[in-house]
Amino acid sequence: MKITIDKNSGYCFGVEYAISMAEEELNESSPLYCLGDIVHNDKEVARLAAKGLKIINREDLKTLSDCKVLIRAHGEPPETYQIALQNNIELIDASCPVVLKLQNRIKTAYDNAKMQNGQIVIYGKKGHAEVIGLSGQTNQEAIIVTDEKDLESLDYSKPITFFSQTTKSTDGFYKMKHLIAKNIQEKGFSDNLALFDANDSICRQVANREPQLAKFAKENDVIVFVSGKKSSNGKSLFNVCQKANPKSYFVEDESELQPEWFENAQNIGICGATSTPMWLMEKVKSRIEKLFCLEPSNE
């Protein structure tokens, strides 16, 4: 039996940068507050909490003053910066550069849309931290769409500028783009097709993982996908694995492994989301090795 950890899995640049900044600050002084879970992985959140990282929400932020608060990779809406200024809070801004660039694009598009009586539409998960930050660039006026039924809330008589949360599925984005264009025509506003501006704003580092992961899943008999259940990216990438290999299993940690998954398997692949730490995938690998009395390997 051979067990391989996917070399392309694990933290994306944005998450790695945020965790590195958190650890650097915690090494100098503690506590450090973080606005929301630094990453959608409970095991990593617990590891950093043991070092002194305290998770707070937006209501907590309003009650703090004279302290340090980390902004995670997902980014934040403008009001967070205003509160920090008013309360003398030092922000350690670890917003992902890709997210910051998208926030600026959406702010510009929103200003233009206001002049044309248009609307900003964002393909993403309602309530997701990144989406809150993106929508904040539009005074929370952006329309958030997650699936086909959400498209009923659009006004097809008005110009539409369409963006995506950076970690959403590429296939999902283009499906929604097609449906919006189709609705514009079918509802009798064909002239607005020329005004429909669809922007593929999915992070390429994330998007490129989909074909890489599909290839990895096909190369192995069994796939163990490691991710926090709260991770939007995790759910999306697990679906890629499952489509390529039906013998794909989702776990949060090594305790959820079932020995019967690996019956007659010669090649086992371990992979994860952009929010999955490498140390956690290595623990899953070690657990499988112990289950089957295998010698530890460096694969």
Q: Which residues contact 94 (CB under 8 A, 6 or more apart)?
A: 17, 18, 21, 22, 70, 71, 72, 73
Contact 272, 225 (CB under 8 A): yes
> Would you give the DSSP letter of residue 230?
T
- Pick left, alpha or beta for residue 170 (phi over 0 → left; psi -120 to 50 → alpha; otherwise beta): alpha
Q: Distance between CA atoms of 75 and 66, rounded to whole angstroms?
A: 21
Contact 135, 142 (CB under 8 A): yes
> Would you give the DSSP letter of residue 89?
P
Q: Distance between CA atoms of 261 and 282, rounded to whole angstroms?
A: 18
Tokens of 288: 């499988």
Give the residue numbers marked as catalytic. Answer: 130
Residue that has been written with the tokens 């409970």 in this structure: 42
Q: Distance between CA atoms of 145 and 151, rounded to whole angstroms?
A: 6
Distance set, CA 192 to CA 172, 176, 182, 201 (Å): 22, 17, 11, 22
Q: Distance between CA atoms of 142 and 103, rounded to whole angstroms?
A: 12
Rg (CA), the chain: 21
Strand pairing partners for 236?
none
* Residue in 27, 24, 47 with CA at minimum distance from that of residue 37: 47
